[in-house]
Amino acid sequence: MSSVTLDTPLRELMLLDESVLNVLQKYGLGCASCLGAQFETLHDACVAHNLDGAQVVIEMNAALAACDTGTEK
């Protein structure tokens, strides 16, 4: 399983499971359509959008874990 951190580049997040993209959308991060996603990290996006990065990371890793165990909602 991949693990998401605040240092994870947004471009790498786009390649992970759809559940990670759902978390981005939940927080209003339209990273898939943002040119900055090619160069920024999750930390950069959280700071720019005034989000609690630690909470976003927790939710993304939980989504990935649920996908890996087949318990995705």
Task: Convert the pLDDT of each residue in 6-53 to its tens digit.
Answer: 999 998 988 888 898 899 999 988 876 777 788 999 999 999 999 999
Q: What is the pLDDT of residue 15?
A: 87
What's the whole-model pTM score?
0.84
What's the rounded Cα separation, in Å, for the pair 52 and 46? 7
User: Is the Cβ–Cβ distance between 67 and 36 less than 8 Å?
Assistant: no
Q: How far is CA 11 from CA 7, 20, 53, 73, in A?
A: 12, 12, 17, 24
Which pLDDT band holds residue 61 (cuts at 50, 70, 90)? very high
